[in-house]
Structure 1
């Protein structure tokens, strides 16, 4: 194995795990508590009453001495992966009344974690310490190829009404170790930068942030959580698999866990669209597919509401849907017709079927499940299949589709490291000397390790959500991974640490139904109080239907209209099995 490839495997276990807090509520209801003398119980209750006062005192100290943190360093010895330490560049109090601030008063800290090599970009980070601290810490993940500093001051995705920082969480994030999120993946010329992007920035940022929390409040957090979507969702699974003792709970939405798989599949989609005559599916045809599916499948959940809720029932209608889309004799459509030719249907059926390779990537993964093409995915948007039959160099999201543009960038910058390489000519089934590179990369930038045993033993909890109409990351990969966990651990064990919610009508951040719901509250209640989430309520923030509510059902359930009551209220729906 080449030295560059060996470098991508660098990993060290955490040396400074967060210690669990003694479960007070459980103790107060135990026989051991009842056997204690009355005086001892009174003393313990008095001591417990002082904890909020101690928190308030520590939080007040943070804001009084925030400026003193500027210029301080965090030594490499307290960071669980190799670095040259961290430097605090700025530290200042943001007042509650500051213009545009919705987070209350907090100490804002920014800095860098120094890379091992001078040619590698440093990791930029931000840590926010609220004056009213709830004793918890939250690391927030990035998106795409990252490259943008995650400030930790923004709302949680799909919970826009409040920010974790305003709720008292100490929040933190980073840029994953490079600047710029153009989608071109130029940073991949540097192996250390790839490692940082893949997993190392998560551990490095977490350890620096907890050192600053200790420095600011005089103690470590009671609980430490991670939350992210898309790339951030992959990062959520990554911290479970690589650093299981560092986190008490994780939120992972639309997780890009099979990162190499989705990028290689994007190349396949591009080859079907542009290397095969007539394979490109135009906007009119994309719209025809969506409208046909809605006509056939919208009412399968008991209500015509613009949402394909019963995806599995819709899947059974797929043959007749395809037949109604096909042009007469399979020929190309005329200018006045939006039917689909055989070549165009071949492209969509590839998109439905997914990728299958004759060799395995990391953890034995040799496929990437396809998309719900004929079950309500709208590929006409900014992250869809594109609008041009002409291939640009390099391809763009708008013209040639998100999947292919990202796959092309992955081949050029991550795999071949040749910016002029033609991804249409890349043979995925027989990649020759690039095969080991593909395998190595899949270990580094993926999160397909099925071994969750350490996270389970730690008592960690995972809340995962994915839209069934996602056009960017296949929801069927998330379902397949979840089923694999059940096969390995059994349903009862998986239920003890994981909740999976698959949301009809939700795409990759957009869609005909965009849920706003309190994932963080649900996770914290589970971790802190042992209250496992079941059916949750989502409020639609899609502009056309803003404010309607639906049940967010545990997989495999979906929300079905009961036949009476307001069609805009979750109470009129029940979660049922498909």
Structure 2
């Protein structure tokens, strides 16, 4: 293009921008967004600061969102200076918005969007946790990541509250059908589409790469976007994913039946701790070093019966009251632990033909005494709580009350999991709405999408074996070479659900971006432990099914002293 022609194009774009500013002033807070192409032309030359504040009060029309809404209201738009208190991400435009539900009685989806002045051309959607009823700000660092916040790295970051307020176990929004659909999957697409329109409006072009990252509920959301909205994402980090949402809730109910529906089934924390310590005695050294971590989980599994027998009460004391809570395991208490170990098998299928929830590594180094573990109270409260009655049972109880029976007074101890009667249809429908077990990832694979999943082998909330089972199902469908071409699974010994004797810190976002952008597939990574007692030690982060084994020499706190081996 000649200099004169280029100057003409520039002048035309400036004129278009001036016309857009006039239109903005005339329309004020009721402004409807122009189509993306027109926005790119009118906003391309404008600085970010000039575009940020005028967005407040604007409306995005419903036609820009692929799923049904009544449009999007921009609640606020403010430039945050680099010098603002607590801001370590440089200057950015912070936008908050509300995506209007179809039914006026359904809560809006609230979202936050952060647009950096120094944009790297990428966008990152962040998932929530639990029942996801708190807006994900996108301002902090990535989970498991020691580096700067993605916003500081130049990513446009965003997240939402999934369409309701409140993150407790008492998920009353389960009574509202549209809110359940939003929580299950729709909020992800609605927020994505709203934010994409805003990014194109402000920067004049769409992101070069769109990523998603989350853990637990956010991990399920990561698999959900791959399965439902494959065309929207280039890469996903989905950690500790609640893939089989209905399955884990129903297993929680089964666990409650064993703890509170069977006389003597309650296992006190002191006895749970003894079980944990016994597993360390038997299995800690199987990886070559006593470091408080059970790394060789498969090897430890071969000692399960020995561990149980060593803690079993004598036959003449098996049903008698115990002098000490941590004296030994009675048969009902062993049965409770085996419910958690063996998981749940159903005589009927849920969505994607799922009829079981795979059990936990109860006897392989999982500590069940924390706030996310088993019950601390031998009596079931009328409204169970995490600490008193255990995380899994409390969540399962509320799921039955608010989502399945839609009766807040329902007693889950009376629910027949194997013969749910007329509730079976609701169980199936919800498992399809809130779940991510579909193994048909052909569209995501074909477009070159990448996936990284990290999870603790000692996770007490989301069964690590359920995540492994999904990975194995992908291999059964596509073959190991195809799965290796787009997926990395890292199972971390000693790591639980946000806690544990080893809490990994590793830069997964850079690994994902390097894979997507440059084709450099991640292999063995190095994780730094951020658990307080052992902060700073490192271990190899091995690709499943490998685990780190001590070489027999060298500093046991250095990853270089370990190698990844097959079980």
Q: TM-score, normalised by structure 1?
A: 0.89
Hey, what does 2:490 align to over in structure 1? Answer: 501
What's the Cα RMSD here? 1.2
State the SS of the aligned residue for 1:127: strand
Which residue, out of 155, 159, 163, partners 2:141? 155
Which residue, out of 226, 229, 234, partners 1:248? 234
Which residue, out of 119, 124, 128, partners 1:133? 119
Hey, what does 1:32 align to over in structure 2? Answer: none
Following superposition, the deviation at residue 58 of structure 1 comes to: 6.2
Hey, what does 2:323 align to over in structure 1? Answer: 335
Q: In the alignment, does 2:236 pair up with 1:226?
A: no
CA contact (8 A) 1:122 1:177 kept: yes
Looking at structure 2, the residues matched to 444 and 313 of structure 1 have their Cα atoms a distance apart, in angstroms, of 37
Q: Which runs of 5+ in 2 are unaligned?
A: 1-39
Looking at structure 2, the residues matched to 375 and 338 of structure 1 have their Cα atoms a distance apart, in angstroms, of 21
Hey, what does 2:22 align to over in structure 1? Answer: none
Deviations 1:411-454 (A, max 9, x none): 00000000000000011110000000000000000001110001
State the SS of the aligned residue for 1:65: helix
Looking at structure 1, the residues matched to 439 and 383 of structure 2 have their Cα atoms a distance apart, in angstroms, of 35
Q: How does 1:9-408 map to 2 (within 5 A)?
A: 61-329=47-315, 330-332=318-320, 334-336=322-324, 337-408=326-397
State the SS of the aligned residue for 2:242: coil
CA contact (8 A) 2:147 2:507 kept: no
Deviations 1:176-228 (A, max 9, x none): 00001111111111000000000000000000011110011000000000000
Following superposition, the deviation at residue 59 of structure 1 comes to: 9.8
Looking at structure 2, the residues matched to 75 and 496 of structure 1 have their Cα atoms a distance apart, in angstroms, of 39
Looking at structure 1, the residues matched to 455 and 60 of structure 2 have their Cα atoms a distance apart, in angstroms, of 37
Which residue, out of 457, 467, 472, partners 2:461? 472
Hey, what does 2:534 align to over in structure 1? Answer: 545
Deviations 1:323-372 (A, max 9, x none): 00101113456233531101000000111000000000001000000000
Looking at structure 2, the residues matched to 467 and 94 of structure 1 have their Cα atoms a distance apart, in angstroms, of 37
CA contact (8 A) 2:249 2:395 kept: yes
Looking at structure 1, the residues matched to 366 and 230 of structure 2 have their Cα atoms a distance apart, in angstroms, of 34
CA contact (8 A) 1:263 1:410 kept: yes
Looking at structure 2, the residues matched to 61 and 137 of structure 1 have their Cα atoms a distance apart, in angstroms, of 19
CA contact (8 A) 1:103 1:163 kept: yes
Hey, what does 1:453 align to over in structure 2? Answer: 442
Looking at structure 2, the residues matched to 286 and 234 of structure 1 have their Cα atoms a distance apart, in angstroms, of 29
State the SS of the aligned residue for 2:489: strand
Q: Which runs of 5+ in 1 are unaligned?
A: 1-53
Hey, what does 2:513 align to over in structure 1? Answer: 524
Looking at structure 2, the residues matched to 456 and 503 of structure 1 have their Cα atoms a distance apart, in angstroms, of 25
Looking at structure 1, the residues matched to 251 and 90 of structure 2 have their Cα atoms a distance apart, in angstroms, of 45
Following superposition, the deviation at residue 104 of structure 1 comes to: 1.2
Looking at structure 2, the residues matched to 301 and 128 of structure 1 have their Cα atoms a distance apart, in angstroms, of 44
Do the aligned partners of residues 154 and 520 (structure 1) sit closer, same or farther apart at CA in structure 2, a change above 3 Å counting?
Answer: same
Hey, what does 1:44 align to over in structure 2? Answer: none
Following superposition, the deviation at residue 103 of structure 1 comes to: 1.3
Deviations 1:250-306 (A, max 9, x none): 000000000000000000000000000000010111001000000000000111000
Hey, what does 2:560 align to over in structure 1? Answer: 571
CA contact (8 A) 1:59 1:131 kept: no
Hey, what does 1:14 align to over in structure 2? Answer: none
State the SS of the aligned residue for 2:336: helix
Following superposition, the deviation at residue 74 of structure 1 comes to: 1.4
Looking at structure 2, the residues matched to 421 and 88 of structure 1 have their Cα atoms a distance apart, in angstroms, of 40
Following superposition, the deviation at residue 68 of structure 1 comes to: 1.3
* Superposed structure 1 runs of 4+ greater than 2 Å apart: 57-60, 330-338
Looking at structure 2, the residues matched to 66 and 96 of structure 1 have their Cα atoms a distance apart, in angstroms, of 15
Deviations 1:130-189 (A, max 9, x none): 011000000000000011000111111111441110100000000000001111111111
Q: In the alignment, does 2:405 pair up with 1:416?
A: yes
Q: TM-score, normalised by structure 2?
A: 0.91
Structure 1 window deviating more from structure 2 (334-343 vs 416-425): it is 334-343
Looking at structure 2, the residues matched to 366 and 153 of structure 1 have their Cα atoms a distance apart, in angstroms, of 39
Which residue, out of 415, 421, 424, partners 1:432? 421
